[in-house]
Structure 1
């Protein structure tokens, strides 16, 4: 069965050869691997490097539109029964695709995920810095929204669930991969955990959006929370844990916006109060006490002054 590997590539000349080498090292039959690389308007030597693979892979060149648009463009060209999203600086371990394809086939599942490892590369040498072994527990939608994240390299999707999800959200510049996985759960995907190392996730990449701009990251978390709230709000009465999960995410955004952007800070408070008009924090402390006396919005405004002073 064919696996389509889709790689969005932006200014990754320093990394992409090693990523491609990890594809060549797969134990899954090479004839059943379809590799699609979308050069997302790179301004370095990425395009020249990719020209070396034009006889083996499908190489697509586009204007810079972001990682979600690049992945969606790659999906248009894919024909595999399974979809492997792979960032251009990460690495697949040799048995990854073979083991996860077998798991999905044997269990008629839609999403295989497994252990992944963080790494740094210095002068060509790879050093593993952390191994993350986390099987999803509890309500899968709440877990994926609140607490669990896996790099795309560590996951394998069935085409049927990818088509149900319908692609990556173009309005999310960050956390788009987490939202895609959550959408798979919302669409009823059957998940299966592979308790073996599957992929290496590079840290310390200066081109990583999440390391460049905290405000943009928090704003994407906020937009995602508002969107998920719209999907879940009819379930809040019977599933209050989902309501709590959205509120907790908004509380995080409010906390960070208080020192990053006053406009977003006020918008996020309004969003939370729309969900829970008489909201009082459950955690004991000054914010809870002042919320009871002054109301949550005013309590947060007072707390924000302290946060900015301590910034």
Structure 2
């Protein structure tokens, strides 16, 4: 049974006014970036009747309250856990505290570009049957400088044809780029607590298995890559790739039977290639431990002849370099 790993999001009581949007901002020791996050939202503020904006903090030790007070000027509320509960539990608290019909989880160090909420609002109004809408997104560094913008999934705004197969083959969505109807969370539950990484990917695929998904080709969200983040630490150790493999296996049962094996194999092979590419980059910088971890992760993901050969070659190079 999966229900024990996916916390329930209870429906709100009927009646009473509800905002269209809930902008829920999970944060943990990211106060130095939180101001930029809040500014990017407040620049698109639709007013208190249409938009709930709340920071849900996981017992940070930095000055989160000071930042919210300075930037939010009373417009942004804060809820802080008494003790650290972890990423997924904090995400779940965000969902439970949301009051809007559409929920946007925006990490406390990420940003949205002008037009994000207008584009997403238009999507949900144009197509009332969609469960979620996401946009093209960009990767930024710790200083907010552009690293790269992801390729388009399709050049037009609208439903993604066969969204389930598309999203299950590879992680194409970053959390700040997607908005989800609250009713979807109420039906499907929260993120799966068995996944410490890739929990977002499994969630988006779960949504696509039950609802149509809309895509906006304009790059309107920014995901921040910073060296001190949990994501970066999990990346160096290749820990995220082991959870990625687990997520792929967990998603398989909800895929169409006719294409299940092929999609699963393609996804595992794609991430094995990604592991080897990262491993070679770590090797080039002299980080032999990280390079070796990625070679092993590639083998965990795929035992194809090509992966086996490239992983063994990379592993041998790290051993040889260590002995020099």
Please tell me the TM-score bracket, short chain as reference: 0.7 to 0.9
Preserved CA contact (<8 Å) 2:34 2:108: yes
Q: Which residue of 2 aligns with 1:102?
A: 122
Choose which of 19, 23, 26 in structure 2 pairs with 1:5. Answer: 23
**Does 2:83 correspond to 1:60?**
no
Q: Normalising by the residue count of structure 1, what TM-score does the alignment of the two structures yield?
A: 0.75
Deviations for 1:139-170, whole angstroms, at most 9, x for unmatched residues? 43333233242222221212222222311122
Deviation at residue 252 of structure 1 after TM alignment: 5.8
Q: Which residue of 2 aligns with 1:91?
A: 111
Choose which of 197, 201, 226 in structure 2 pairs with 1:178. Answer: 201
Preserved CA contact (<8 Å) 1:6 1:84: yes
Deviations for 1:229-274, whole angstroms, at most 9, x for unmatched residues? 3544xx54554422423552685699779933999899x48xx7xx
Label 1:259 to 1:44 Cα distance change in 2 as closer, same or farther (>3 A).
same
CA distance in structure 2 between the partners assigned to 1:38 and 1:262 by the alignment: 37
**Does 2:324 correspond to 1:306?**
no
* Range 32-41 or range 170-179, more displaced: 170-179
1:19-30 equivalence runs, <5 A: 19-26=37-44, 28-30=46-48
Preserved CA contact (<8 Å) 2:271 2:298: no
**Does 2:220 correspond to 1:202?**
no
Q: RMSD of the TM alignment (CA)?
A: 3.4
Preserved CA contact (<8 Å) 1:112 1:194: yes
Preserved CA contact (<8 Å) 2:52 2:100: yes
* Range 34-43 or range 158-167, more displaced: 158-167
Label 1:245 to 1:140 Cα distance change in 2 as closer, same or farther (>3 A).
farther
Q: Secondary structure at the match of 1:226?
A: helix
Q: Which residue of 1 aligns with 2:293?
A: 260
**Does 2:160 correspond to 1:127?**
no
Q: Secondary structure at the match of 2:145?
A: strand
Preserved CA contact (<8 Å) 2:241 2:271: no
Preserved CA contact (<8 Å) 2:21 2:51: yes
Q: Which residue of 2 aligns with 1:292?
A: none
Preserved CA contact (<8 Å) 2:241 2:275: no
CA distance in structure 2 between the partners assigned to 1:129 and 1:47 by the alignment: 30
Q: Normalising by the residue count of structure 2, what TM-score does the alignment of the two structures yield?
A: 0.73
Label 1:96 to 1:263 Cα distance change in 2 as closer, same or farther (>3 A).
closer
1:91-240 equivalence runs, <5 A: 91-108=111-128, 109-120=130-141, 122=143, 126-135=144-153, 139-186=162-209, 188-203=210-225, 205-213=226-234, 214-232=237-255, 235-237=256-258, 239-240=260-261
Label 1:244 to 1:59 Cα distance change in 2 as closer, same or farther (>3 A).
same
CA distance in structure 2 between the partners assigned to 1:175 and 1:200 by the alignment: 18
**Does 2:60 correspond to 1:42?**
yes
**Equivalent pairs, count:** 281
Preserved CA contact (<8 Å) 1:28 1:98: no
**Does 2:266 correspond to 1:245?**
yes
Q: Secondary structure at the match of 1:170?
A: coil
Gaps (5+ residues) in structure 1? 273-279, 289-299
* Range 253-262 or range 188-197, more displaced: 253-262
* Range 15-24 or range 256-265, more displaced: 256-265
CA distance in structure 1 between the partners assigned to 2:315 and 2:149 by the alignment: 38
Q: Which residue of 1 aligns with 2:34?
A: 16
Q: Which residue of 1 aligns with 2:286?
A: none
Higher RCO (C-alpha under 8 Å, 6+ residues apart):
2
CA distance in structure 2 between the partners assigned to 1:222 and 1:69 by the alignment: 22
Deviations for 1:91-137, whole angstroms, at most 9, x for unmatched residues? 11222112211111111122221222223364xxx433322242267
